Amino acid sequence: MIFGKKLLSESRSRRLVVLAVLACATATPVWANWNIDALMKQLSQHPGGSARFTETKKLSVLDTPVVSSGTLLFSPPDRLEKNTLLPKPESMVLERDRLTLVRDGKKREIRLQQYPEAMGIVEAIRSTLLGNQSVLRQHYALQLQGTEANWRLVLTPAEERTSRWITQILISGKSNQVTTVETLQADGDRSVMAIEPHK
């Protein structure tokens, strides 16, 4: 009798082990649910805010990179402000389709509707911050790399007029925070902006 109980117990144990192995083998890994839809949802829930930036531009006409730094301010849904403090003060404010530049004490306003290629570049950043996938796809083919903890979104222009200026924009981040924006220009120039949110 005891022998029979032991066999039954071993049989039950084996069955539990097999079921556990099958469950592990067929379970969907957590990272399998990480895709562009999931990223856009997380980004859309970010409330905006301010951050510090350091931008490094490598230009073919210069031997050394140009480094600038300052602050960024994003107020959803459509206001993005970049205030450069070093090497010299200047500001850029984007609101809806109006871009206002202040440089060397001179103010200039531009309507981006008149410059569709510039609008495409602007929307790469603004629509990513908003998590607006439908607008992004109007201008770019999207490819997501990495994991939720360390991702990179590759934007390749879908329109010829934008591709004349930009070959790719690479936006990297962690969870719902954008940490780097890298722009590869068609002429070979390149800029990398590192972003650090204010604590």
For the segment 41-99, what is each residue's pLDDT rounded down to a tens digit? Answer: 999 988 788 999 999 999 989 999 999 999 999 998 889 999 999 999 999 999 988 99
Rounded CA Rg of the chain = 24
Least Cα distance to 125 among 70, 79, 175 occurs for: 79
64 and 107 share one domain: yes
Q: Per the confidence metrics, is the pTM higher than 0.85?
A: no
Quote the domain boundaries for residue 7.
Answer: 2-30
Helices 116-130, 36-44: inter-axial angle, 10-degree rounding: 80
Kindly list the distances between the CA atom of residue 74 and the CA atoms of 24, 80, 91, in Å, as whole numbers in the listed order.
43, 5, 14
Q: What is the tally of structural domains in the chain?
A: 2
Mean pLDDT, to the nearest integer, of 171-180?
Answer: 94
Per-residue model confidence as pLDDT tens digits over 131-141: 999 999 999 99
- Are 69 and 195 in contact by the 8 Å Cβ rule? The answer is no
Is residue 12 pLDDT above 60, yes or no?
no
21 and 109 share one domain: no
Alpha carbon distance 131, 183 (integer Å): 19
Joined tokens for residue 36: 């562009």
Per-residue model confidence as pLDDT tens digits over 99-142: 999 999 899 999 988 887 788 888 899 999 999 999 999 999 99
Can you say whether the dihedral through the CA atoms of 135, 177, 95, 183 is positive or negative? negative
157 and 122 share one domain: yes
152 and 173 share one domain: yes
Residue with tokens 């103010």: 107
Q: How confident is the model at residue 171 (pLDDT cuts 50, 70, 90)?
A: very high
Joined tokens for residue 139: 């201008």
26 and 44 share one domain: no
Average pLDDT over all residues of the chain: 85
**C-beta atoms surrounding 59 within 10 Å:** 15
User: What is the per-residue pLDDT for 159?
Assistant: 87
168 and 102 share one domain: yes
15 and 104 share one domain: no
Helical segments of the chain, H only? 2-26, 36-44, 116-130, 133-139, 160-163
